[in-house]
């Protein structure tokens, strides 16, 4: 067989962490190859190796059958490899034509730009892809699909015949996805090989010839797209393993318990999508769903970090209008953000200062009671088993798991009776996950409420009492008891808003969590 | 319809300029619209316009430069110092070379030294001020050479000062380079989206450093013109010009967040600022009020620009 | 092991600061052929550092909080003129209070704009610089300023101290040092300032009152500028409008020499005091050695750039 690119036993290690382990993939010329996997499964590492951005720690790369010992970005480019990073390579404030030829302008005598030629060529490339946009328009004014196509055109004018499209389908609506697919298929007819990376599984199934699945840095299997359903693919992506058994359905029965949080008709956009959910005392509500489904936004809107366009948030029986962090904290509602570096930690301050931060407003008088703050911070840090040299160590010096524990431990006291966590397991080791879960469960046992967003089913199963699945900015399922298992959850990942979803076992979007 | 709307939006600075001129015409025609005053306004517009062009370039690559005034002072002082013994050519070229190199030093401190632009260029402002001060020994160096004085006195048809012609030439060159050479696009790409520029194989650091260098030369030219205008070299002659240049650029629609803005409009912003000072002076209110207006315009213009971001 | 490394690094950092002062004092002593180390000169050096020191403490509060205050010099100038302006109607005490209040108001306006809008701090304070500079000319009606009342009234109060004329500036410097130290290192507001400078978004989510804290730091910075204006008039008896712009340079240099990171979230007031004393020593030594003031500015610029470059190298290596 005539392979456009072959990877053999490629591995990539960063210190002790393995990003890619013994991956062997061969892609025939003129094929669309889907590449799927969860966050951190190794998709982007693989694409960066092919584009020459990073060098593998071991293994070899062959292009058109001949081995390339040292693939640099320049070498990859001249070998006809182009990469489209989720329109990250477009400058929004520049025109379509300027972007298509950025870094690759056509120049004439005295290096003067041949603008007419570039405009013509840009128009031709775009027309060949079947779309007609004014090349003088700014990229920032284009729709997501058109941006994606401009990015592809940019790779094409550099005469590439192996195109990596990284998360091409993200934030495209149905019609736009169809458009993008038709463009990519047209390229396949022109014998361009395409590697299509996406976490939108039905998107990949609909487009690809074959699909390779990565999990934890290893290639799990390569499937023939024609004989694969999105559901089968989803199971392959997340795996079957369950760390814990689901909690008993009886646990999810909170009738009669006080309602801590009641969200109704809430939205942060102008369209019709809206959310409703309820958290009662002692309840751990999980939220999961594909990337970009709106999980984070939901939690941030509830906590007041994003303005709501409509809907109400009722806390302990009182509707809270203008929400902000200060106000929610005063009411005993706390929030752990998704990104601990940008929003969670004071990296260059001590652990004690990080943990004490919300306690400061309770300090009376001018002088801090430093002894009390220290004692309490130490108690909290120890409670969640933070491994630290001293409470005075800088937060930035801790490992990822311990950093996350510091952020969570701030709220480990009875003053906070509702904790909202956004992806608390991201990039931390399994021990830290267990410690955080233990803290969450202890909170619930004391009668507090917890909402936790995560895409890691293994963590949610056995922890949460109720699980909401959010797809495309809608709650498509509310699961309890045994229904909280990987197979059941992924069925809803493909739930299309326009068509009726899988029927059995769960309630539809309208009855969300009530 | 959309075209008309966007055209009007593009022309906002022209509208402001027109309004100012109109106000002057209605209330203070005689003091504002006399030849000497208009001549002076055009000359000062040219000085500020050239300095603003430099600052605008820096802002477009997502930087900021506080060393404008100091560089102007150095250029004028060095020129005045060199004139008597080394002649015109040296007195023009060496100061420009010095300013260009110091501008490059700014760029290197920021890109290679990883110092925030404000801190680096403030530091440079003092270093340059110190250099100029040591050349002049803290005094004013008068310029006797007729040829040098004539630059400021010269005009075309006794109406358009040579300064302004210079500004037009520099402006046209800048616009030509912007739209006809790769580098014009790269400068906007670097400020517009650094990551995208990097992925497009554009040498981001080198372009930024070069822009600081070019800006330095432009400040140098502005400083030479100023020296000719005041017929002397003094280190403090450009005091406050960093402020004026940033204000003019922002007024002309150059985004502080980089990557956006029209160079021609930035120059127009400088003209507006100078006309505004002229109008304020014509109304003979306290001359000291200028700074208050200036401060409010700067903060107001940036507020207007950042409102929607 | 890691702990030992961290401790060692921290120790070295602290050591650096003192090391810097020792080097500066040694060099100053050599340059001045020993004149620098005479007690009478040392007292003079510290007294001369008073106004710049007060401004620097304020600047440090703002910079630690992740901002910039480019308006400090002009605020000193405005306060000097405001004292004269209000003296006519309100008398010396009333005029002083009114002038201080004017400065604080200006600081609060800066703080408000910085915290409530998306305008970058350097633009806000650059605008305030221009406005305050204008105000200094308007309030003094463009005339030279003479104020001998402070010296006449205050100097005799401390006549019993051996420091003489220099007692008042030194005492105010010490008071400013203690006040800002306690605020930054012993009160919750200090913790808030560090938190915002370290990570504003994280601070907000953890419930830090960001706006109040910024109002406090910019307001206090302006208040200290007004105090510096009083010291200035006490020492110099006269001024021209707009004078005081140098304090921007001095406060910036002292803050950086004092080990405050330009990126916010770290640094200490004692460190800044060391920076202030270093600067005063350098000035004194250069003056004794007969170096022209115009070059002095350039020397400071080079020192500031060198220190910042060193800081950023350290940061990169981490």
- A191/A106 Cα distance (integer angstroms): 25
Mean pLDDT of A120-126: 93
Mean pLDDT of B255-281: 91
Q: Nearest-CA distance from C66 to chain B in Å? A: 12
B27 domain residue, yes or no? no
Tokens representing A480 are 């309890």
C105 domain residue, yes or no? yes
Q: Summarize pLDDT for C244-288 with one digit per residue, the tens.
A: 878 998 999 999 888 898 888 999 999 999 999 988 988 888 888
pLDDT band at C313 (very low <50, low <70, confident <90, very high): confident
Q: Is residue A86's pLDDT more than 80?
A: no
Q: Summarize pLDDT for A257-306 with one digit per residue, the tens.
A: 899 999 999 999 887 778 999 999 999 999 998 777 889 999 999 999 99
Q: Is residue A510's pLDDT more than 50?
A: no
- B126/B122 Cα distance (integer angstroms): 7
pLDDT at A233: 84
Q: Is residue A500's pLDDT more than 80?
A: no
- A482/A247 Cα distance (integer angstroms): 7
- B222/B217 Cα distance (integer angstroms): 9
CATH of the domain at B195: 1.10.3470
Q: Is residue A511's pLDDT more than 70?
A: no
pLDDT band at A514 (very low <50, low <70, confident <90, very high): very low
A305 touching C (Cβ < 8 Å):
yes
Collect all residues of chain C within an 8 Å Cβ-Cβ radius of residue B124.
301, 305
CB atoms within 10 A of CB B159: 11
Q: How many domains does chain B have?
A: 1
Q: Summarize pLDDT for A297-355 with one digit per residue, the tens.
A: 999 999 999 999 999 999 989 999 889 999 999 999 999 999 999 999 999 999 999 99
CB contact under 8 A, B259 and A93: yes
Q: Is residue B219's pLDDT more than 80?
A: yes
For chain C, give the percent of residues with pLDDT over 90.
Answer: 61
Facing residue for C123 by CB, picked from B132, B289, B299: B299
Instruction: Find the distance separating the first CA and the last CA of chain B, reported in whole Å.
Output: 25
Mean pLDDT of A431-437: 93
Q: Which domain holds residue C210?
A: 40-317
pLDDT band at A497 (very low <50, low <70, confident <90, very high): very low
pLDDT at B226: 96
Mean pLDDT of chain A: 87
CB contact under 8 A, C6 and A360: no
pLDDT at A87: 60
pLDDT band at C164 (very low <50, low <70, confident <90, very high): confident
More confident residue, C212 or A158: C212
pLDDT band at C5 (very low <50, low <70, confident <90, very high): low
More confident residue, A74 or A17: A74
Mean pLDDT of A469-476: 88
**DSSP-derived secondary structure for A262-292:** EEEEEESSSSS--EEEEEETT-EEEEE-STT
Q: How does DSSP classify residue C183?
A: H
Facing residue for C130 by CB, picked from B64, B126, B294: B294
B182 touching A (Cβ < 8 Å):
yes
Mean pLDDT check: name the lowest of A53-62, A67-76, A383-392. Answer: A67-76
Mean pLDDT of C77-98: 94
C237 domain residue, yes or no? yes
pLDDT at C213: 97
Indicate which of B2, B5, B61, B185 best probes the interface with A, i.e. most A CBs within 10 Å of its own CB: B185
B297 domain residue, yes or no? yes
Q: Looking up tokens 């800048």, which residue turns up?
A: B174
Facing residue for B199 by CB, picked from A74, A88, A112: A88
How far is C-alpha A249 from the chain's CA centre? 29
Sheet of A3-14: strand order equals: A17-28, A3-14, A58-63, A66-68
CB contact under 8 A, A342 and C201: yes
B87 domain residue, yes or no? yes
Q: Nearest-CA distance from A214 to chain C in Å? A: 33
B21 domain residue, yes or no? no
Q: How many domains does chain C have?
A: 1
CATH of the domain at C152: 1.10.3470
Collect all residues of chain B within an 8 Å Cβ-Cβ radius of residue A90.
193, 196
Q: Is A394 exposed, middle or buried (0-12, 13-18, 19+ CB in 10 A)?
A: buried
Q: Which domain holds residue B131?
A: 32-304
pLDDT at B77: 96
Collect all residues of chain C within an 8 Å Cβ-Cβ radius of residue B128.
298, 301
Q: Is residue A506's pLDDT more than 70?
A: no
CB contact under 8 A, C265 and A348: yes
Mean pLDDT of B69-77: 96
C8 domain residue, yes or no? no
Q: Is C259 exposed, middle or buried (0-12, 13-18, 19+ CB in 10 A)?
A: buried
Q: Is residue A22's pLDDT more than 50?
A: yes
Q: Is residue A201's pLDDT more than 90?
A: no
Chains touching chain B, criterion 3+ CB pairs below 8 Å: A, C
Domains and CATH numbers, chain A: 3-238 (3.40.50.300), 249-348+415-511 (3.40.50.300)
Mean pLDDT of A447-456: 93
More confident residue, C106 or A167: C106
pLDDT band at A504 (very low <50, low <70, confident <90, very high): very low
């Amino acid at each position: 067989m005539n392979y456009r690119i072959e990877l053999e036993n490629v591995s990539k290690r960063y210190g002790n962490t393995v990003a890619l382990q013994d991956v062997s993939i061969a892609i025939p010329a003129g094929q669309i190859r889907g590449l799927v996997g969860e966050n951190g499964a190794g998709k982007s590492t693989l694409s960066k190796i092919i584009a020459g951005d990073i060098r593998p720690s071991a293994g070899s790369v062959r292009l058109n059958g001949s081995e390339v010992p040292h693939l640099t970005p320049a070498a990859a480019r001249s070998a006809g490899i182009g990469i489209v990073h989720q329109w990250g390579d477009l400058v929004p404030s520049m025109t379509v034509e300027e972007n298509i030829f950025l870094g690759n302008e056509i120049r004439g005598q005295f290096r003067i730009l041949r603008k007419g030629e570039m405009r013509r060529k840009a128009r031709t490339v775009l027309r060949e892809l079947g779309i007609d946009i004014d090349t003088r328009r700014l990229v920032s004014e284009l729709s997501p699909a058109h941006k994606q196509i401009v990015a592809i055109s940019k790779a094409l004018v550099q005469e590439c015949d192996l195109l990596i499209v990284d998360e091409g389908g993200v934030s495209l609506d149905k019609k736009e996805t169809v458009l993008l697919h038709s463009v990519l298929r047209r390229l396949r007819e022109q014998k361009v090989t395409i590697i299509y990376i996406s976490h939108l599984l039905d998107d990949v199934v609909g487009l690809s010839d074959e699909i390779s699945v990565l999990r934890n840095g290893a290639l799990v299997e390569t499937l023939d797209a024609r004989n694969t359903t999105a559901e089968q693919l989803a199971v392959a992506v997340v795996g079957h393993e369950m760390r814990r058994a689901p909690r008993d359905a009886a646990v999810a029965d909170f009738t009669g318990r006080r309602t801590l949080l009641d969200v109704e008709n809430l939205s942060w956009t102008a369209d019709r999508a809206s959310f409703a959910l309820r958290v009662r005392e002692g309840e751990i509500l999980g939220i999961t769903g594909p990337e970009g489904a709106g999980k984070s936004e939901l939690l941030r809107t509830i906590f007041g970090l994003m303005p709501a366009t409509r809907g109400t948030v009722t806390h302990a029986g009182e509707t809270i209008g203008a929400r902000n962090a200060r106000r929610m904290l005063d009411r005993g509602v706390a929030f752990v953000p998704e990104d601990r570096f940008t929003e969670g930690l004071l990296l260059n301050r001590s652990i004690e200062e990080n943990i004490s931060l919300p306690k400061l407003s309770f300090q009376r008088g001018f002088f801090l009671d430093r002894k009390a703050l220290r004692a309490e911070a130490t108690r909290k840090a120890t409670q969640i088993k933070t491994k630290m040299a001293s409470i005075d160590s800088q937060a930035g010096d801790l490992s990822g798991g311990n950093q996350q524990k510091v952020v969570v431990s701030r709220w480990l006291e009875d003053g906070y009776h509702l904790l909202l966590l956004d992806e608390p397991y991201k990039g931390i080791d399994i021990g830290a996950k267990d410690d955080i879960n233990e803290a969450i469960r202890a909170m619930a046992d004391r009668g507090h409420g917890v909402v936790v967003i995560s895409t890691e089913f293994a963590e949610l199963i056995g922890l949460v009492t109720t699980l909401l699945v959010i797809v495309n900015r809608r709650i498509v399922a509310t699961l309890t008891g045994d229904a909280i298992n990987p197979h059941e959850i992924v069925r809803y990942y493909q739930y299309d808003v326009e068509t009726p979803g899988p029927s059995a076992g769960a309630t539809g979007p309208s009855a969300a969590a009530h | 319809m959309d075209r008309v709307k966007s055209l009007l939006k593009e022309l906002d600075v022209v509208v402001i300029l027109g309004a100012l001129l109109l106000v002057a015409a209605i209330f203070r025609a005689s003091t504002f619209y006399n030849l000497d005053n208009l001549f002076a306004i055009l000359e000062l517009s040219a000085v500020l316009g050239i300095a603003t062009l430099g600052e605008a370039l820096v802002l477009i690559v997502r930087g900021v430069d506080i060393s404008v005034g100091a560089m102007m002072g150095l250029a004028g002082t060095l020129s005045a110092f060199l004139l008597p013994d080394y002649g015109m050519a040296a007195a023009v070229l060496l100061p420009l070379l010095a300013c260009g190199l110091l501008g490059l030093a700014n760029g290197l401190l920021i890109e290679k030294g990883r110092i925030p632009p404000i801190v680096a260029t403030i530091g440079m402002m003092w270093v340059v001020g110190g250099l100029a001060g040591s050349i002049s020994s803290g005094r004013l160096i008068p310029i006797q050479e007729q040829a040098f004085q004539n630059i400021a006195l010269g005009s075309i048809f006794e109406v358009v000062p040579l300064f302004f012609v210079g500004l037009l030439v520099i402006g046209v060159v800048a616009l030509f380079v912007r739209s006809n050479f790769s580098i014009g696009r790269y400068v906007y790409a670097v400020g517009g989206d650094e990551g995208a520029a990097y992925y497009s194989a554009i040498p981001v650091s080198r372009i930024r450093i070069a822009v600081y260098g070019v800006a330095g030369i432009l400040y140098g030219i502005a400083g030479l013109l100023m020296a000719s205008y005041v017929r002397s070299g003094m280190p403090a002659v450009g005091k406050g010009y960093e402020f004026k240049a940033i204000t003019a650029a922002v007024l002309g629609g150059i985004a502080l967040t980089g990557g956006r803005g029209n160079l021609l409009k930035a120059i127009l912003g400088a003209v507006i600022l100078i006309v505004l000072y002229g109008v304020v002076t014509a109304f003979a209110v306290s001359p000291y009020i200028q700074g208050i207006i200036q401060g409010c315009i700067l903060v107001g213009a940036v507020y207007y620009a950042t409102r929607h971001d | 092991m890691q702990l030992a490394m961290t401790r060692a690094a921290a120790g070295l950092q602290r050591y650096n600061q003192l090391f810097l002062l020792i080097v500066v004092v040694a060099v100053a002593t050599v340059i001045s052929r020993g004149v620098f180390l005479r007690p009478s000169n040392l007292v003079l050096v510290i007294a001369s550092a008073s106004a710049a020191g007060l401004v620097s403490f304020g600047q440090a509060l703002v910079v630690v909080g992740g901002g910039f205050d480019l308006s400090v010099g002009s605020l000193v100038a405005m306060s000097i003129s405001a004292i004269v302006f209000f003296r006519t109607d309100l008398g010396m005490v009333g005029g002083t209070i009114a002038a201080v209040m004017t400065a604080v108001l200006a600081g609060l306006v800066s703080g408000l704009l910085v915290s409530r809008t998306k305008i970058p701090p350097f633009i806000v304070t650059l605008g305030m610089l221009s406005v305050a500079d204008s105000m200094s000319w308007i309030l003094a009606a463009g005339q030279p300023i003479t104020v001998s009342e402070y010296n006449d009234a205050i100097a005799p109060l401390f006549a019993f101290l051996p420091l003489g004329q220099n007692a008042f500036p030194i005492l105010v410097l010490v008071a400013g040092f203690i006040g800002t130290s306690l605020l930054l290192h012993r009160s919750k507001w200090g913790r808030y300032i560090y938190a915002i400078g370290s990570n504003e978004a994280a601070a907000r989510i953890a419930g830090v009152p960001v706006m109040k804290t910024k109002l406090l730091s910019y307001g206090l910075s302006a208040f200290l500028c007004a105090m510096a204006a009083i010291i200035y008039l006490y020492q110099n008896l006269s001024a021209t409008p707009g004078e005081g712009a140098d304090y921007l340079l001095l406060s910036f240099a002292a803050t950086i020499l004092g080990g405050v990171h330009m990126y916010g979230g770290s640094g200490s007031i004692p460190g800044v005091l060391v920076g202030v004393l270093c600067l005063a020593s350098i000035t004194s030594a250069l003056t004794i050695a007969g170096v022209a003031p115009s070059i002095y500015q350039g020397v400071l610029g080079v020192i500031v750039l060198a220190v910042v470059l060193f800081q950023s190298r350290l940061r990169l290596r981490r």
